[in-house]
Amino acid sequence: MGCDGGTIPKRHELVKGPKKVEKVDKDAELVAQWNYCALSQEILRRPIVACELGRLYNKDAVIEFLLDKSSGKALGKAASHIKSIKNVTELRLSDNPAWEGDKGNTKGDKHDDLQRARFICPVVGLEMNGRHRFCFLRCCGCVFSERALKEIKAEVCHTCGAAFQDDDVIVLNGTKEDVEMLKSRMEERRLRARLGKKAKKPKAAESVSKPDVSEESAGPSKIKAGKPEETSLDSREKKITPASKSAAAAANGSSSGRVGKPPCGAAKRSIADSEESEAYKSLFTTHSSAKRSKEESAHWVTHTSYCF
């Protein structure tokens, strides 16, 4: 067994017992949750955002995670529920005047002041160090203690005055029960948003189809695309047809004694022979001003000696 030199071993040195469970230092855990980013494990720097589960992140780290999801990072599981930048809210935090973490000494060295919190509640004045429960509002991003929310009951935000509901209140770095409750709320909220998008799609399709119906039933105010001569001729013929029909009916009534369509061999009335003004006749191709020679109608012939 050894024991050279007169040493006497003890029982715990010879018999291996069960391993002791390592206990997590609560102070160290609080410092990690409230002072470091949950995604990059770097010190929290403004702008600071929070997800729907109440975890704190640096906004730059979230953007890098969304742009580069292919990298298999172990810390990416903490932000797996973040699908877009809309799933996080930028926080409006109130600085603690007693915090001296960013102040350096004469040599230029800096230290992290872990004894005091960087931020406080703007209503009650409690430090945001994890010993007091804090929450934020999804509608505006304002952060304050849960004590201020309970003692000063209101339907608007205590700092900016924005209206909110109970669903908008999210606890920061809550317990496991709080995280499960927030997760169920997040899933319900996203499900409602998904159903709302599906309901909007049929309405959008109906709104697109309605203008087509209105265009078909537009009546005389709607002019179809085509040549200007044809459209104006059709519109003019529609105006002339009632008078011509009445005249033809009177002529046929004297001969045949019944009203009907003019015979197929009847000559069509020419616009050039009508009693309309010259300005109106010039709109049609039968007018003398519309008749041009081949040289004038060719697109490559220049009428002047100046070519630009």
Whether 264 maps to a domain, the answer reads: no
Provide the mean pLDDT of the chain. Answer: 74
281 Cβ contact partners less than 8 Å away, ≥ 6 residues apart: 271, 272, 274, 287
- Distance separating alpha carbons of residues 102 and 35, to the nearest angstrom: 13
Give me the CATH number covering residue 50: 3.30.40.10
Whether 295 maps to a domain, the answer reads: no
pLDDT of residue 255: 42
- Write down the pTM of the prediction: 0.57
Average pLDDT over residues 258-268: 51
Confidence band (pLDDT; 50, 70, 90) for 297?
A: low
Whether 270 maps to a domain, the answer reads: no
Q: Which of 183, 186, 185, 138 is nearest to 164 (CA)?
A: 138
pLDDT of residue 49: 95
Which is more confident, 77 or 259? 77
Which two three-digit tokens encode residue 71? Answer: 């990298």
Confidence band (pLDDT; 50, 70, 90) for 8?
A: confident
Highest mean pLDDT (candidates 93-97, 108-112, 243-247, 289-293): 93-97
Whether 215 maps to a domain, the answer reads: no
Q: Which of 51, 180, 45, 140 is nearest to 101 (CA)?
A: 45
Which two three-digit tokens encode residue 47? Answer: 């702008």
Q: Kindly report, residue by residue over 171-209, the tens digit of the pLDDT.
A: 999 999 999 999 999 999 999 988 988 888 777 667 766
pLDDT of residue 220: 44
Whether 86 maps to a domain, the answer reads: yes
How many CA atoms are closer than 13 Å to the CA of 282, on its beta-carbon side? 4
Neighbours of 147 (CB within 10 A): 15
Whether 151 maps to a domain, the answer reads: yes
| Alpha helix stretches (DSSP H) within the chain | 11-14, 26-35, 59-67, 146-151, 176-216, 228-255, 278-281, 294-297
Whether 262 maps to a domain, the answer reads: no
Helices (H) and strands (E) in the chain, counts: 8, 8
Average pLDDT over residues 119-132: 90
150 Cβ contact partners less than 8 Å away, ≥ 6 residues apart: none
User: In terms of residue numbers, what domain contains 60?
Assistant: 23-193
Whether 188 maps to a domain, the answer reads: yes
Q: Kindly report, residue by residue over 69-103, the tens digit of the pLDDT.
A: 665 555 667 788 898 999 999 999 999 888 876 55
- Phi and psi at 98, nearest 5°, equal -85, -5
Residue 32 Rama label (left phi>0; alpha psi -120 to 50; beta): alpha
What domain count does the chain have? 1
Highest mean pLDDT (candidates 142-156, 250-264, 293-307): 142-156
- Phi and psi at 272, nearest 5°, equal -65, -30
